[in-house]
Structures are given as C-alpha cells and as structure tokens.
Amino acid sequence: MLRPLSGEGMRHNPSESIRLVVEKGYGDYARSKFANAQARLDDLEQLSQYALRYEDVNTFLEEVALANPIAGEDVAVVGPEDEKIVLSSVHQAKGLEWRVVFVIWLADGRFPSQRALRVPGGIIRVPEQNVPAEMAIMLRDTMEKEIVIPGEEEERRLFYVPRVSRDGARSRRRRCPDGTVALRARTARRGLREVGHRIGAGMRLLLISSSLVHGYGYLDHPEPDIKRHLAGKKRVAFVPFAAFDHAAYTAKVSERFGRMGFEIVPIEQLDQADAIFVGGGNTFRLLKKLYDRNLLDAIGKRVRAGMPYIGSSAGSVITAPTIRTTNDMPIVEVKSLNSLGLIPFQINGHYLDPDPGSKHKGETREERIREFHEENSTPVVGLREGTMLLVEDKSYKLLGLKPARLFRRGEEPIEVGPGTRLEVILNRADGEGSRS
C-alpha cells in the first residue's frame, strides 16, 4: 500500500490517497476491530470528498492533520521530577491533565484556521443535563450527548478544551493529580462564550435575495441599505463570475454603483478595495470560478477581517456553509458544494410560496427544502424577493419589503418579519414568530 501512496500522482491527490488507504487495508481492519466501523468509514468518505478541494497532500495536511492518535491523559502521567514538553493537538489537550497549556498559532491569519472557517460545524461533548439553552442548537443521540455548534464554533472550542476536562464538565469539582481543582463546567462554558464570541467578530454582510424586484430598477430597492452598508467606503471589488459575459456584467454594475457614488474595481484588486460585491447569476458557475481562481479563501479572510460584503442572489447563497439550497441548475461541475461558510444557515434565494389555486403538481420550494432536511440539519432561510439579511458580527437581521421563511429539520416553517433578528430564534429550542 505504501508504494502506490508514495507515487508522484498521489502527492497531488489527497482525496484518492484517503480512498486507497481504506480500500487497501483500513476498511477491513476497522470492520474487524470497531463496533462503529461503518460510521468511521463514512467519516473517511466525507473526508475524502472534502479533500477534493486541495491540489496537493501537503496543503491538505496543513489544515486537517492532528499531531498523533495518543490521548492526552496517556502521555501526561509523569512524575514531578520529569521535565518535558508534550506536543499535541488542542483536541487532545483535554485541559487539566496538564498544568500549563500553550496554544500555538493563536495569531491572525492562523486562528481561526481556514479549515474551521470553511467547513461548518464542530462538536463540544457536554452531558445533556449541562447543556445551556443558548448553545443547544441541536442535540442528537450518539454514544454520548453532544452539542453541535455551526460555523467556526469548532475553532472557538479550542479555547474551551484546554480549560476544562470532560470529567470536569460532568461534576461540580475534580481533584487533579497535582492538587489543583477543576473549574466548574458552567464557569468554563461562560468563558467560552466570553472569549469565543470575539472570534470572527466584525463581519458585515448585506445579503440581498434579488437585484431586481417588480416595480423597481436594477438594485433600486436595496439602494438605501447599500449606501449605509458602504458608508465611508469608495472602491468596491466586483465578482462577475455568476454571469456568462463578465465584461457586460461589470459594465452594468459599474454604472449602477457609480450612480451611488462608488467605484467598481476587478476582484483581482481585492487587496486595494474597501468592500466586495458578488453579483447574481448561476451559483454553480460562480462557485466553480472562485475555486478555480483560488479566491474563496481570500474573500473569506477579508470579510472575516471586517471588509464589508454585499451579495445578490447567488452572491448571497455562497455565504452559507454550502450551495445545496440554491435553485440553479448545475450547468458546470464544481469540485465541492462547500462555499464561504460565513453564516451558520443555508439561504434559499428568490423563495416562492406555493400558489393555492395552481393545478401544477410539481414540487414546491418548501418541499425541496424539506428534502434537504432529510439529509442535512442546517437551518434554511427562504428569502423572498425584496428581502435581505444584514449580518453584523453574529447578528442576522431581516430587512426589506416582505417576511422571510425559516426552516428547521423536524419543525414546521416559521414566518419572520422585517426587523427580526434570526439569531434569537435559532438559539431558542421552541422558536418564535408566526408558524404556518
């Protein structure tokens, strides 16, 4: 198995390398050793799919590799006479088995990691009875209860793990081998919230369902919001890739933004721009171009650092964890459906309500979103024409002319009106608003 893995071709194909490891031995080993072998193999299949976005193994490993498979408590049992440093991942550093934990790469551009920022989700293992309501976005039965946090919360967890052990989270106090006392779990979770909410803070996005609404010209209805969003800014980097004719699209946008007092520059001048506008069109074509030009990470990094972002239609859809809830046809092949992951929910733009008088028997938009929730747990926000979302830090405020429709797996959809802050609803177990 090592010989084919060491070939030159495999160095540029991390996805196939993972598949080869499973096929040539690990699959049989897992099935003979582990009761949850299929779950492990399913995870590896997902990892292989995720690795498709990387062009070489080294780049892939820089983001996803852990230090070693040894649990922290197995390497930390040393006597007071021993002097040594244990190099581990923070995921292994469960906290109080070490008296001091240094977190390496806690620096801008390295933390949060690109892996966590692009891939939504992360798990903090906390017993059900200790789950705070504001964090219980979703609970599911596994070998133990887990809180599943969307977005870059996986990286926020890195602050939590070194501070409290899993045992400490299950009891009020824990006496450690060196005589110190574990923090109460409630205190540690509060620390997570206090520190973690500053990670990724400063993001400002205006996500428009559509640039055209009946009775208005191009970008007329959101013009006041665009001006407020870009107050004090001048140069706007435009991404025209959702359209076929980039030149014509850029000319149209340049003229319209010029009337609002802004200068449009090409996305290649992102470093000299004050803001970003990603226009609408075909979402698959847009995402493919961003991957092909290695722009997805560059845009995400700038937005997380505070650069204002405006998206229209497809440009709004790609701010979600994936583009799985777009309405567009897959007219081009995209190596991954994962997108910017700037918000913790999916967007369905141009959301249409079913016509009660229609004799058409095809699927409604609501039925398609329910199908999405048969396989996925991420909430979906249906943005009707004339609506938009204002994202400020971790606040998601609905703006515009109409209500939006919020879908969560296993629940009836909820109508949310303009002015509603979606994070309040998403963080409540029972939701609020007008149920259909």
CATH number, position 347 = 3.40.50.880
260 and 327 in a single domain? The answer is yes
Predicted pLDDT at 351:
81
Q: How many domains does the chain have?
A: 3
Task: Show which of 159, 180, 199 is a domain's final residue.
Answer: 199
Helix axes 283-292, 296-304, angle to 10 degrees: 90
**With contact defined as beta carbons under 8 Å apart, do 262 and 303 qualify?**
no
Helix axes 14-21, 37-50, angle to 10 degrees: 160
403 and 304 in a single domain? The answer is yes
Neighbours of 94 (CB within 10 A): 23
175 and 253 in a single domain? The answer is no
193 and 212 in a single domain? The answer is no
47 and 76 in a single domain? The answer is no
pTM above threshold 0.75: no
234 and 373 in a single domain? The answer is yes
Residue 289 reports pLDDT greater than 90: yes
**With contact defined as beta carbons under 8 Å apart, do 264 and 82 qualify?**
no
Task: Show which of 184, 199, 214 is a domain's final residue.
Answer: 199
Distance of alpha carbon 361 from alpha carbon 93, whole angstroms: 55
The reply to whether 313 belongs to the active site is yes
Predicted pLDDT at 258:
96
The reply to whether 15 belongs to the active site is no
60 and 103 in a single domain? The answer is no
Digit-coded pLDDT (tens) for 236-245: 999 999 999 9
Choose from 192-201, 209-218, 231-240, 384-393 the range with maximum mean pLDDT.
Answer: 231-240
Residue 208 reports pLDDT greater than 90: yes
170 and 291 in a single domain? The answer is no
Given 210, 313, 316, 336, the catalytic residue: 313
Question: What single-letter amino acid sits at 105?
Answer: W
Q: Would you state the structure tokens that stand for residue 214, as one six-digit string?
A: 């009946």
96 and 241 in a single domain? The answer is no
Residue 341 reports pLDDT greater than 70: yes
Digit-coded pLDDT (tens) for 352-408: 776 667 666 667 888 899 999 999 989 999 999 889 999 998 889 999 878 999 999
Choose from 20-29, 204-213, 306-315 the range with maximum mean pLDDT.
Answer: 306-315
Domain with 6, as residue range(s), is 1-65
376 and 389 in a single domain? The answer is yes
Residue 55 reports pLDDT greater than 80: no
Closest CA to 149 of 196, 202, 101, 91: 196
Distance of alpha carbon 336 from alpha carbon 4, whole angstroms: 25
296 and 373 in a single domain? The answer is yes
Digit-coded pLDDT (tens) for 108-137: 555 555 555 544 444 434 444 454 443 443
The reply to whether 328 belongs to the active site is yes
Q: Which residues contact 223 (CB under 8 A, 6 or more apart)?
A: 260
Distance of alpha carbon 372 from alpha carbon 194, whole angstroms: 34
Given 48, 328, 336, 373, the catalytic residue: 328
Task: Show which of 36, 65, 94 is a domain's final residue.
Answer: 65
**With contact defined as beta carbons under 8 Å apart, do 223 and 398 qualify?**
no
49 and 134 in a single domain? The answer is no
